[in-house]
Amino acid sequence: MQANLQQRKNSRKLKLGRLGEDLAVKHIEAAGWKVVERNWRHPLGELDIIALDGRTAVAIEVKTRSSEDYGTPLEAITQEKLQRLRKLVLEWNHRTKPNVLAIRVDAIAVLVRPGTNPVIDHLKALS
């Protein structure tokens, strides 16, 4: 029973995450960027989206929340997480050798409150 509940909760979280990533992809495609990878996996971790903004490769971390009761979604990205994202995008660059001039890391926060339009907050060039 307990395990069942946990599973259902997890699957809801996964669904919400998936929904957020889909919305993020729509958002950047609307801005004219080209998505080259989704959920690129590596032993160190995962990159949610990799897209090309002109000749810059951008790794995008997507954070989705259904409320702001526990802070804004972007607050969940810690310095350690950011370090890991940087390492991952270098790793991706090393493996795929894309024809780009620069690489960087962005974050997109998606707030999906039931009954309202989703709100997207795109923070570029994390430092």
Partner 1 sequence: MTAFKTFAVALNGLDGHLIEVEAAVTSQLPGMVIIGLPDTALSEAKQRIKVACHHSGIKLAPRFITLNLSPAELPKNGSGFDLAMAVVATAASGHLNHKSISRAVHIGELGLDGQVRRTRGVLPAVLAAKKSGLSAVLVPSSCLAEAQLVKGIQIVPVATLGEAVAWHRGDFAPHLQQIVEHNTPRTEAEEDMSDVVGNEEAIYALTVAAVGAHHVSMIGPPGTGKSMLARRLPSILPDLDDKDAVEVTSLASVSSSKAIAGLIRRPPIQSPHHSITPAAMVGSGSRRFAPGVISLASRGVLFLDEAPEFRTAALETLRQPLEDGSISLRRANLHIEMPAKFLLIMASNPCPCGFAGSMKKSCTCRGSDLVRYRNRLSGPLLDRVDVHLDIERVAQIWRPLMADDEKGVQGSAAIRARVAGARQRTKKRLRGTPWSSNGEVAGSWLRHPSNIPNPAVMAPIDNAFSKAQLSMRGVDRTLRVAWSLADLEHLPRPSKTNVLMALKLRIGES
Distance, in Å, from the CA atom of 14 to the CA atom of 21, rounded to the nearest integer, reads 11
Instruction: Choose between 47 and 109: whose C-beta lies nearer to partner 1.
Output: 109
Instruction: Give min distance, CB of 98 to partner 1, in A.
Output: 25
Residues with Cβ within 8 Å of residue 124, at least 6 apart in sequence: 104, 106
Instruction: Choose between 19 and 82: whose C-beta lies nearer to partner 1.
Output: 82
Instruction: Give min distance, CB of 97 to partner 1, in A.
Output: 29
Three-state DSSP state, 50: strand
In the complex, which residues of this chain contact partner 1 (CB under 8 A)?
A: 68, 71-75, 77, 82, 107, 109, 121, 123-127
Instruction: Give min distance, CB of 79 to partner 1, in A.
Output: 8
